[in-house]
Each structure stands twice: as structure tokens, then as C-alpha cells.
Amino acid sequence: MSTKRIKFLSRKKILQKDIRVRLEVNGPSKRFTAGLNIESYGFPSESRVWIEAKQLLETLRFDLGTVAQPRAATPIDISRLRGERVTFNLLVLDPVNARKLGSAETVRPNVEAGAMENSIPLLPVDASARLDPLLWRVDYCDNDEEGHSDAPVLMLDSGAAQGAASFYVQDPAVRAMILPAAMREVLTRLLLVDHIDYEPGSRSWRNSWIRFASRLVGEDPPASDAPNFTVDAGDWIGQATSKLAKNAGFLETYIRERRT
């Protein structure tokens, strides 16, 4: 009796630079739009494209059409997902047997141009849990584009933020008191605890954070084997947090808001 050999084709990894997801949160309302650039991957034109929105233990799946005929990029409502740390999976499936031809996992919503000046684009916020007696903390528990499992998330107490993290951090006092401190904590961990050396070409969350801070300071951090590294790295971290606060006008906005 002959045995039929089944040929398994390798699954293609879709790069996150070819996926753009914009998430809009307005109180309890939550929706996203997705834009894709996957023509160069060579998927069959009739392949089905799906996107999954994930938050906590719940996943919602949506049909984006086919590779050749994608659906219009209209807003998709995902308000039933609790919390605000939403990530996405993209799947390209064989139209006959639903075999997975390509995928991208744990895609984070993209940051709009200009966001660098008044926020930390690499720090998603989550107000889905109580932190009592703390108001906030930085957790290292998410995945980044290279599969690392300890990328930082700014956790806010759900009672204080009333479950709406993005609205809570729009408050001038909250931004002024939390964001520079959170940035200092992450950079301190990277440079003074983990002693990483900056790799400009890497997209890992560690190097993305250093790249963001380097743009603020105007120069890269000292190498971990440099003389006086601890002092110089501490000064560099201080410059980065001060630049963030200055560019965003945290202090001036806070004082102005308090006077009105």
C-alpha cells in the first residue's frame, strides 16, 4: 500500500512594517482601521486575509477580503474588548483548506506622526486592573516585534483611570508626573541594570527605546564599557527625560491648567 506524501509549504512571516493598524479609543468606544502592503509576498491572489484583535483572554476575528481584492479600510468596532492594550494578528489563509500561508503576530497599533513630541510612542497603557495601593507601575510583560516577552507597558490603576487609560493620560497633571518618571525607569533598566549596548539596526523593544531617547538627546548613549559609564549613562538618561518634558511642555501646561 503506497503512502501519499503531503507537501507542506513554509509559512511566510509578514513584516510588521508592511502592516499599519490605527486604533481609536473614545471612552468605551474602540475601533481600528488596517492598511496592508503584502503584494510582494507572492501569496495567491485569492488567498483570504483575516485580522484578529486581542485583549486579555478575548479575540475577535475580521475578514479583510482577499489579497487581490481587499476590503475597503473602514473603521471596525471592537468596543466589546475590555481594557486598552489591544494587539493584532494578521493571517493569510489558503482559500480551499484554510491552511495558514503567512502571518504576523502581536502587531501593535502604529503611532501617528508627531506623537514623539508629547508622548512615549513605545509605551502602551493599560487600565484593566487594580494596582492598589499604587497609582501606576511599569510592567514588562508584552511581546515586541522580535518576539521578546518583556517589553514595557504602563499599567494604571483601573479605579483611578476609570478603565479609560488613554483619556486618563491626557490629563496634564498625569502626563507631567508619570511619563518622564516612567521613561526614566525604563532607560535605567536598559542601561544601568541590563547594560545593553545600542544596536541601531535592531527593531527589538530595547533598541527602539534607546533610538527614541537618542533622538531626544541628540546623541547615542555611552557604551557599557566606556570609562565613567555609570555617571555618563545617568546624565544621558536625565537629558532624555528632560527633553521629553520640555518638548511636550509638561510643566508649562500643568501650571497653566492649575491656574484656570
Using one digit for the tens of pLDDT, what is the confidence trace for 10-23?
Answer: 688 898 788 988 88
Question: Which whole number is the average pLDDT over 33-55?
Answer: 92
Which option is the CATH number for 12-107: 2.60.40, 1.10.10, 1.10.3470, 1.10.287? 2.60.40
Q: What is the mean pLDDT of the chain?
A: 83
More confident residue, 16 or 225: 225
Q: Any idea where the domains of the chain sit in the sequence?
A: 12-107, 115-259
Contact 22, 11 (CB under 8 A): no
Instruction: Write down the pLDDT at residue 132.
Output: 92
Instruction: Write down the pLDDT at residue 24.
Output: 78
Cell reading at 81? 474588548
What is the Cα–Cα distance from 247 to 217, expressed in whole angstroms? 11
- The model carries a pTM of 0.60
Contact 254, 172 (CB under 8 A): yes
Side chain identity at residue 168, one-letter code: Y
Using one digit for the tens of pLDDT, what is the confidence trace for 174-210?
Answer: 889 999 999 999 999 999 999 999 998 887 888 889 9
**pLDDT of 1 strictly over 50:** no
Contact 123, 154 (CB under 8 A): yes
Using one digit for the tens of pLDDT, what is the confidence trace for 227-251?
Answer: 999 999 999 999 999 999 998 888 8
> Please, what is the end-to-end C-alpha distance for the chain in angstroms?
86
Q: Which residues pair with 73 in a beta bridge?
A: none
Question: Which whole number is the average pLDDT over 50-69?
Answer: 89
